[in-house]
Structure 1
Amino acid sequence: MSVVGERFRSVMAVGCLLVVAGCAVGEQPPGGPKLTVGIRFDQPGLGLRAPDGGFSGLDVDVAKYVADRLGTGARDITFVEARPVDRESLLRQSKVDMVVATYSITDTRKQQVDFAGPYFVAGQALLVRRTNTDIDGPESLNNSDWRLCSVTGSTPAEKVRSGYAASVTLDQRGSYRECVDALLKGDVDAVTTDDVILAGYVAEQPDRLKLVGKPFSVEKYGVGLRKGDARRAKVTEALRTMIADGSWQRFVTDSVGRSGYQVSVRPAVADNP
């Protein structure tokens, strides 16, 4: 074969390689590495799944912001439900990369998972029917066999029983939505968890529900990560930037603020929360 012919074959071969390489690049997800994030599906203003399959709320906004800082676009995030009883196991078993699900930072949980944050500070409260005039705070639960609902795997109901009313009957269910439904039906007398969570349900049915009393705990929400996850420092920096650049305030106003909830504490992100 002539030199010209050989050169032609070489050029064609290189061209084909470029085309193939271009096709391969085009097939990769455009937003970078994929992330799977555990959120709540049933908490208005925080983590809520819409009938059309979309997601909204403060935790969703925080997750998207952090993911973007890690190089992952919104289209490359897969949201899965993270109920309180499942959060640690989802992380330990690598079924999710992180949990952003009103996940309070506690010493007990830190033995199993790592946290970045906090990105929000809430307080435990009580939700009752609007017609209820007997319960106006945790102290009202003393000396009566009130029925109190909370979620399996969470700590709020135990806090009330151990700190205020040993006589309280606990009704633990799979979600706070189930607790609220039970409250509206009269099957329980009150629901307890963080005030910001309960405020979302009040916003849905203000004529039937109300928050009572002042918050009686401090709950610092963090981003849950697997033990030893090397991305923890980057997540921490992302949360700091989110608060500093005004994004955090916008997220809070657009989601939590709609329920009338008043944010009293601006979170201070720690290196080792």
Structure 2
Amino acid sequence: MQDITRRGFVGLALSSAALTVGALAGCTPSTSQAGSAGSATSATAVASTDTLRVGVRGDVVGFGYLNERTGKYYGLEVDIAEELAKRLGYRDVAYTTVLPENRKELLLEGKIDALVACYSIADTRRENFDFSPAYYDDAVIAVVQNSSQITTIDDLKGATFGTMGGANAAPLLSIKLYEIGFSNGESVETNEDNSNALFDTWRLIQYPSYQELSDALEIGEVDAMVLDGAIAKTYMNDERSVLDGFTVDEVSYGVATQKGSALSPRVAETIQGMLDDGTIDALIDKWD
């Protein structure tokens, strides 16, 4: 089994997504307020000037993980958010659990001040948000069950790929398969919300959660799940492998803020400072 490290993967860079694949309906976010981690509070509460409201993942071990029993968040991105808030002069951080299908709206609507949530920097996203310098480099990969005996991308002709609804994986996968001559890139049939789409040589199914995506791979509903390497780490086991020789795209995570906001340049400068002084490298080493 190919080993996954939290320092990311190296692969071929692709152009911006040109094929849009619809997302599935999402879940209601939960919120916690913390020092290093914290207790639950209202997602719609208006934060004081002493509190930085940050959207983080709650389901990605090592990046943003919510312990349901204690109500505490842990991970690299939680630590980055804590240090960011401290350097910006905030006394506290209020965390909101976000998912791919709701994070954009939460930031656009001002319910959070920043996203530190495995959110990859992309030109299409720059239309709505400002981004800090990248704090983590990763790649979108494919994971298969060892029992499937799938060892190359060519083994997946006629197969079903699974992704998380609302993430960039689906459009990036469509482009990649077209660019390598695997597919002509045209959908043959889709359902109403595009969560189930048939292409000439493959099928795409999108799921409302990474756990459901992982379960679908386990039971054979999909032949490969496509997702960020950082997120895949949570769902790897001895019965799964990263598909060798196939990288969908390189991605880099940055802190997203509202476009043109007064907070944006301060966040960018602070993250750059954390990169320059080795703080982020130290945090990556801590969670690697």
> TM-score scaled by structure 2?
0.70
Question: 1:89 maps to what in 2?
Answer: 105
Question: 1:182 maps to what in 2?
Answer: 216
Decide which of 189, 195, 206 is 1:172's aligned counterpart.
Answer: 206
Question: 1:248 maps to what in 2?
Answer: 280
**In structure 1, distance between residues paired with 2:170 and 2:155:** 14
Distance 1:67 1:157, change over 3 A: same
| Superposition deviation, residue 35 in structure 1 | 1.5
- Which entry has the higher C-alpha Rg, 1 or 2? 1
Distance 1:132 1:252, change over 3 A: farther
**SS across alignment from 1:118:** coil
Identity %: 30
- Between Structure 1 and Structure 2, how many residues are aligned? 218
Question: 2:173 maps to what in 1?
Answer: 160
**Aligned 8 A contact 1:88 1:113 in 2:** no
Decide which of 65, 79, 92 is 1:48's aligned counterpart.
Answer: 65
**Aligned 8 A contact 1:37 1:63 in 2:** yes
For 2:51, give the aligned amino acid. K
Distance 1:139 1:230, change over 3 A: farther
| Superposition deviation, residue 66 in structure 1 | 1.0
Decide which of 95, 101, 113 is 2:129's aligned counterpart.
Answer: 113
Question: 2:89 maps to what in 1?
Answer: 71
**SS across alignment from 1:150:** strand
| Superposition deviation, residue 232 in structure 1 | 1.5
**In structure 2, distance between residues paired with 1:43 and 1:130:** 23
Question: Does 2:55 correspond to 1:38?
Answer: yes
**In structure 2, distance between residues paired with 1:86 and 1:135:** 35
- Please identify which structure carries the higher strand content: 2
| Superposition deviation, residue 201 in structure 1 | 2.2
What are structure 1's unaligned runs of at least 5 residues?
A: 1-30, 258-273
**Aligned 8 A contact 2:144 2:150 in 1:** no
Question: Does 2:250 correspond to 1:218?
Answer: yes
Question: Does 2:231 correspond to 1:197?
Answer: yes
For 2:75, give the aligned amino acid. G
| Superposition deviation, residue 122 in structure 1 | 0.8
Structure 1 segments (4+ residues) deviating >4 Å? none
| Superposition deviation, residue 224 in structure 1 | 0.8
Distance 1:104 1:139, change over 3 A: farther
For 1:168, give the aligned amino acid. W
| Superposition deviation, residue 32 in structure 1 | 6.7
**Aligned 8 A contact 1:161 1:168 in 2:** no
Distance 1:163 1:237, change over 3 A: same
What are structure 2's unaligned runs of at least 5 residues?
A: 1-47, 184-200
| Superposition deviation, residue 139 in structure 1 | 4.6
For 2:126, give the aligned amino acid. K
**Aligned 8 A contact 1:43 1:177 in 2:** no
Distance 1:107 1:126, change over 3 A: same
Question: Does 2:145 correspond to 1:129?
Answer: yes
Kindly report the root-mean-square deviation, in angstroms, between the aligned alpha carbons of the 2 structures. 1.9
**Aligned 8 A contact 1:124 1:156 in 2:** yes
Question: Does 2:243 correspond to 1:236?
Answer: no
**SS across alignment from 1:217:** strand
**In structure 1, distance between residues paired with 2:93 and 2:74:** 14
**Aligned 8 A contact 1:198 1:211 in 2:** no
**SS across alignment from 1:187:** coil
**In structure 1, distance between residues paired with 2:154 and 2:278:** 38
Deviations 1:237-258 (A, max 9, x none): 2112212222212211222x1x
For 1:248, give the aligned amino acid. I
- Please identify which structure carries the higher helix content: 1
